[in-house]
């Protein structure tokens, strides 16, 4: 069975500008993050998979088919753009029913699917209101709903949390997790927000300057580091002194003390130092790499 | 197929304001009423006074009579089908579905064509019913004038194609409905006085050995018949005058009859196929 998406030596040039250069990667089931700074080639890659652009060379395949040659292959894809794309005069119910029909569903089935999807994204009560009256968060949900309404195999989400407040962002990310878990719809999430990608994705593909610079499971990029974070409620300076007496050098990083992990015996020394400094321990945990570290690596 | 049908149905609903708030319905309803009103008035007058006592406009003159309303309808409503989708960027969602830009634009064109065809036919059907009922012998009237039915059906298609294609081609160049509507109305309004000014008949008296006679002189002389083509609003009427063999038509159309029928048909074809190709070309190059 072919992968959901596959880029093979995918190259796209806009005149003299290189958007993607001989890129190879695959997207399989689950949630995959397409990560990269602005201009990395994320949007170009999405447009190539949607069949909106023709590659300069190589191929962008959707379940083994080339979408720019066969528009029917888009029936199995959903797409949520970053920008506004909703008709303000229509109700979300009518709009979703229409979009389901445009995706090939018969009218009666389209109405049922529209109602179901609007309920899943939490807009059941507001479905007969004009979209123009919706808040930003509600509009984002309608955008997500239209991408799901025809029950696609894979959904491409372009910056789905753009413009949302922290609460709305968390709700959107939870919704994305639920879509993948409960409905088995695979997701390609394009974002420049590391936190979003780290919290919902199983795998990532990192683009920079039109090249794939990293690819793999998110857990590979968020492994434990050789550092230990210690948070105490009080007597932090005394703790630093007590650790130093035991040969452990601690540095301050925000509210935490950071020490290098060297051996398991070190934990006993830390425990003794905490007792000596009379510092109540709130948290002690190993440090973890973050996805931001990918972009901090020196160029090779 | 379902996708294309959905685009067509949605276009019809958008043109008529269905599924939208009441402000979207006001203009289509008013323009529908404006198209039907002359047919209703003619029918009432015919029923009260009698068909033979008055020289009432028939099916041939009806399209010319309501051409201004038809142009207003097309100019105001056609941009609703295209400009809004591009302004709100809903078109981006269409083009990532199993549709090509050609499918989209063909669906939209067909939707507006269906609405305009219904509009032009409704007036003619009301007129037909009115004239039949107003006659002393409805069956005899129908037998004598049955050819009017295929004629007005054919002429309706000619009118609907023209008033669909031109405003839609204009709408493809702007995301603002008002700009598109103003341009289309301006195009038709300006073309009329220019054509009329160049083809106007100025009567002069000419004295010869046989006496004094009135003579029609036009500013552009013998070339005047060519300038009738500039009156865009009457372009379909130039073709329809070939279908209806009556003379209840505006002066520009009467003068235009002097032109070869091939020229009139060719001009109509140029002004419909040309904008049609422009419309297709504009959307072919659209990117999300």
Q: Sign of the CA dihedral A9, A15, A18, A19?
A: negative
- Which of B5, B1, B32, B35 is closest to B16 using CA atoms? B32
Contact status of B21 with chain A (Cβ, < 8 Å): yes
Distance from CA of B20 to the nearest CA of A (A): 6
Boundary-marking domain end, from A178, A196, A221: A221
CB contact under 8 A, B99 and A104: no
Query: Six-digit token pair at A271?
Result: 């425990």
Interface of B with A in 54-113 (CB under 8 A): 84-85, 88-90, 92-100
Boundary-marking domain end, from A221, A248, A281: A221
A10: domain CATH number is 3.40.50.300
Which chain A residues are within 8 Å of B11, Cβ to Cβ?
A: none
- Minimum mean pLDDT among A123-127, B215-219, B229-233, B268-272: which range? B215-219
DSSP label of A163: T
The pLDDT of residue A298 is: 54
Distance from CA of A150 to the nearest CA of B (A): 10
Do A125 and A271 share a structural domain? Answer: no
Among A91, A102, A106, the residue with its CB nearest the CB of B97 is A102
Do A252 and A127 share a structural domain? Answer: no
- Indicate the burial class of A292 (C-beta count within 10 angstroms; 0-12, 13-18, 19 or more): exposed
CB contact under 8 A, A71 and B90: no
The pLDDT of residue B249 is: 59
Percent of chain B with pLDDT over 70: 91
Contact status of A49 with chain B (Cβ, < 8 Å): no
Do A228 and A107 share a structural domain? Answer: no
Query: Six-digit token pair at B256?
Result: 């235009």
The pLDDT of residue B211 is: 73
- Indicate the burial class of A215 (C-beta count within 10 angstroms; 0-12, 13-18, 19 or more): middle
pLDDT in tens, B127-158: 899 888 888 888 888 888 888 899 999 989 99
How large is the average pLDDT for residues A201-211?
91
Question: Which one of B93, B101, B285 would you mutate to disrupt binding with A, by most A Cβ within 10 Å of its Cβ?
Answer: B93
Do A262 and A178 share a structural domain? Answer: no
The total of other beta-carbon atoms located within 10 Å of residue B257's CB is: 15
- Indicate the burial class of A169 (C-beta count within 10 angstroms; 0-12, 13-18, 19 or more): buried
Do A90 and A44 share a structural domain? Answer: yes
The pLDDT of residue B246 is: 61
Do A210 and A231 share a structural domain? Answer: no
Q: Is residue B248 scored above 60 in pLDDT? A: no
Domains contained in chain A, number: 2
Range of the domain at A255: 224-296
A240: domain CATH number is 3.30.70.100
The pLDDT of residue A144 is: 94
Query: Six-digit token pair at A173?
Result: 């990310």
Q: How many helices (H) and strands (E) does chain A have?
A: 10, 13
CB contact under 8 A, B287 and A89: no
Do A247 and A211 share a structural domain? Answer: no
How large is the average pLDDT for residues B166-187?
93
Cα separation of A52 and A74, whole Å? 10
Between B46 and B246, name the one with better pLDDT. Answer: B46
Among A53, A74, A87, the residue with its CB nearest the CB of B97 is A74
pLDDT in tens, A221-246: 777 788 889 999 999 999 999 999 98
The pLDDT of residue A296 is: 62
Q: Is residue A112 scored above 80 in pLDDT? A: yes
Tell me what the pLDDT averaged over chain B comes to: 85
Do A167 and A230 share a structural domain? Answer: no
Cα separation of A48 and A164, whole Å? 27
Contact status of A70 with chain B (Cβ, < 8 Å): no
Rg (CA), chain A: 24
pLDDT band at residue B261 under the 50/70/90 scheme: confident
Among A52, A98, A146, the residue with its CB nearest the CB of B287 is A52
Percent of chain A with pLDDT over 70: 96
The pLDDT of residue B199 is: 78
Cα separation of B269 and A28, whole Å? 53
Phi-psi region of A122 (alpha: psi -120 to 50; beta: other; left: phi over 0): left
- Which of B238, B241, B232, B244 is closest to B266 using CA atoms? B238
3-state secondary structure A167-222: HHHHHHHHHHHHHHHHHCCEEEEEECCHHHHHHHCCEEEEEECCEEEEEEEHHHHC
Do A241 and A216 share a structural domain? Answer: no
Among A47, A75, A86, the residue with its CB nearest the CB of B88 is A86
Boundary-marking domain end, from A221, A251, A268: A221
Largest CA distance in chain B: 79
How large is the average pLDDT for residues B57-76?
85
Q: Is residue B220 scored above 80 in pLDDT? A: no
Contact status of A255 with chain B (Cβ, < 8 Å): no
- State the ipTM, two decimals: 0.78
Among A71, A88, A94, the residue with its CB nearest the CB of B88 is A88
pLDDT band at residue B173 under the 50/70/90 scheme: very high
Between A132 and B225, name the one with better pLDDT. Answer: A132
Contacts of B163 (CB under 8 A, 6+ apart): B70, B71, B73, B74, B116, B236
Phi-psi region of A163 (alpha: psi -120 to 50; beta: other; left: phi over 0): left
Do A47 and A114 share a structural domain? Answer: yes
The pLDDT of residue A294 is: 66
Nearest chain A Cα to B2, which residue?
A: A104
Cα separation of B67 and B57, whole Å? 14
Write the CA distances from B159 to A293, B64, B88, B243, integer angstroms.
Answer: 66, 10, 31, 12
The pLDDT of residue A192 is: 84
Distance from CA of B160 to the nearest CA of A (A): 26
Percent of chain A with pLDDT over 90: 55
pLDDT in tens, A240-291: 999 999 889 999 988 889 998 888 888 899 999 999 999 999 989 888 777 6
pLDDT in tens, A40-52: 899 899 999 998 8
Do A257 and A173 share a structural domain? Answer: no
The pLDDT of residue A57 is: 94
Phi-psi region of B223 (alpha: psi -120 to 50; beta: other; left: phi over 0): alpha
Q: Is residue B273 scored above 80 in pLDDT? A: yes
pLDDT band at residue B60 under the 50/70/90 scheme: confident
pLDDT in tens, A12-71: 999 889 999 999 999 999 999 998 888 889 989 999 999 888 999 999 999 999 888 888
Tell me what the pLDDT averaged over chain A comes to: 89
Among B7, B19, B100, the residue with its CB nearest the CB of A94 is B19
How large is the average pLDDT for residues A124-135?
90
3-state DSSP assignment of residue B237: helix
- Crossing angle for the helix pair B2-16 and B101-134, nearest 10 degrees? 50
3-state DSSP assignment of residue A7: strand
Q: Which helix (H) or strand (E) holds B59?
A: helix B59-65
Q: Is residue B195 scored above 90 in pLDDT? A: no
pLDDT in tens, B159-170: 999 999 999 999
Q: Is residue B6 scored above 90 in pLDDT? A: yes
Q: Is residue B247 scored above 60 in pLDDT? A: no
Query: Six-digit token pair at B34?
Result: 């404006």
Do A19 and A40 share a structural domain? Answer: yes
Query: Six-digit token pair at B254?
Result: 């009467």
DSSP label of A56: S
* A224-232 β-sheet, strand order: A250-253, A256-260, A224-232, A281-288
The pLDDT of residue A141 is: 93
Cα separation of A272 and A248, whole Å? 12
Query: Six-digit token pair at B52?
Result: 């033979």
Residue-by-residue DSSP string for chain B: -HHHHHHHHHHHHHHHTTTS-HHHHHHHHHHHHHHHHHHHHHHHHHHHH-TTTS----HHHHHHHTHHHHHHHHHHHHHHHHHHHHHTTTHHHHTTSS--HHHHHHHHHHHHHHHHHHHHHHHHHHHHHHHHHHSSSHHHHHHHTTTHHHHHHHHHHHHHHHHHHHHHHHHTT-S-HHHHHHHHHHHHHHHHHHHHHHHPPEEEEEEETTEEEEEEE-TTGGGHHHHGGG-GGGHHHHHHHHHS----S-HHHHHHTTS-HHHHHHHHHHHHHHHHHHHHHHHHT---
Percent of chain B with pLDDT over 90: 35
The pLDDT of residue B227 is: 80
Q: Is residue A155 scored above 80 in pLDDT? A: yes
Contact status of A18 with chain B (Cβ, < 8 Å): no
Q: Is residue A201 scored above 80 in pLDDT? A: yes
The pLDDT of residue A297 is: 60
Cα separation of B187 and B173, whole Å? 15
Residue owning tokens 């107003």: B134
Beta pairing partners, A259 = A228, A250
Beta pairing partners, B206 = B213
pLDDT in tens, B75-124: 999 999 999 999 999 999 999 998 889 999 999 999 999 999 999 899 89
The pLDDT of residue A194 is: 83
**Strand-pair category, A154-158 with A77-80:** parallel
């Amino acid at each position: 069975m072919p992968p959901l998406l596959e880029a093979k030596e995918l190259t796209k040039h806009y005149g003299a500008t290189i958007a993607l250069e001989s890129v190879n990667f695959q997207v399989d089931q689950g949630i995959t993050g397409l990560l990269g700074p602005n201009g990395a080639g994320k949007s170009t890659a999405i447009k190539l998979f949607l069949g909106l652009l023709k590659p300069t060379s190589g191929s962008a395949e959707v379940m083994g088919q080339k979408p720019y040659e066969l528009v029917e292959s888009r029936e199995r894809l959903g797409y949520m753009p970053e920008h506004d794309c909703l008709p303000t005069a229509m109700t979300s119910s009518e709009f979703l029913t229409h979009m389901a029909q445009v995706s090939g569903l018969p009218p009666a089935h389209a109405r049922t699917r529209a109602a179901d999807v609007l309920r899943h994204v939490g807009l059941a009560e507001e479905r007969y209101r004009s979209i123009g009256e919706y808040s930003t968060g509600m509009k984002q949900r309608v955008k997500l709903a239209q991408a799901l309404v025809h029950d696609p195999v894979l959904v491409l989400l372009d910056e789905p949390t753009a413009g949302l407040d922290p609460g709305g962002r968390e709700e959107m990310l939870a919704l994305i997790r639920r879509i993948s878990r409960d409905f088995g719809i695979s997701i390609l999430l394009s974002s420049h927000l590391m936190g979003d990608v780290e919290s919902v994705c199983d795998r990532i593909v990192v683009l920079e300057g039109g090249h794939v610079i990293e690819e793999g499971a998110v857990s590979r990029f968020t492994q434990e580091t050789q550092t230990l974070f210690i948070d105490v409620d009080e007597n932090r300076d005394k703790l630093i002194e007590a650790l130093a007496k035991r040969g452990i050098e601690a540095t301050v990083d925000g509210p935490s003390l950071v020490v290098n992990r060297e051996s398991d015996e070190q934990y006993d020394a830390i425990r003794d130092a905490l007792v000596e400094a009379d510092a109540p321990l709130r948290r002690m945990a190993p440090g973890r790499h973050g996805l931001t570290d990918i972009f901090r690596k020196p160029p090779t | 197929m379902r996708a294309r049908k959905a685009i067509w149905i949605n276009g019809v609903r958008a043109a008529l304001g269905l599924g939208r708030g009441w402000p979207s319905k006001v203009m289509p309803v008013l323009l529908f009423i404006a198209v039907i009103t002359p047919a209703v008035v003619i029918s009432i007058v015919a029923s009260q006074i009698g068909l033979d006592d008055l020289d009432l406009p028939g099916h041939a003159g009806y399209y010319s009579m309501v051409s201004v309303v038809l142009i207003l309808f097309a100019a105001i409503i056609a941009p609703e089908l295209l400009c809004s989708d591009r302004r709100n960027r809903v078109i981006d969602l269409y083009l990532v579905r199993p549709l090509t830009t050609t499918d989209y634009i063909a669906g939209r064109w067909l939707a507006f064509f269906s609405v305009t065809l219904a509009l032009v036919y409704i007036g003619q059907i009301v007129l037909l019913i009115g004239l039949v009922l107003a006659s002393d012998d409805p069956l005899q009237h129908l037998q004598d004038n049955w050819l009017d039915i295929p004629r007005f059906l054919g002429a309706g298609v000619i009118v609907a194609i023209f008033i669909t294609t031109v405003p839609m081609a204009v709408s493809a160049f702007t995301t603002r409905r008002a700009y598109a509507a103003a341009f289309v109305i301006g195009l038709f309004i300006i073309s009329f006085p220019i054509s009329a000014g160049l083809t106007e008949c100025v009567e002069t008296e000419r004295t010869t050995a046989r006496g004094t006679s009135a003579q029609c002189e036009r500013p552009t002389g013998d070339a005047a018949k060519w300038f009738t083509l500039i009156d865009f609003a009457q372009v379909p009427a130039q073709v329809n005058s070939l279908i209806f063999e009556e003379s209840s038509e505006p002066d520009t159309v009467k003068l235009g009859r002097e032109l070869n029928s091939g020229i009139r048909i060719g001009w109509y074809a140029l002004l419909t196929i040309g904008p049609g190709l422009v419309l297709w070309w504009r959307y072919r190059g659209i990117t999300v």
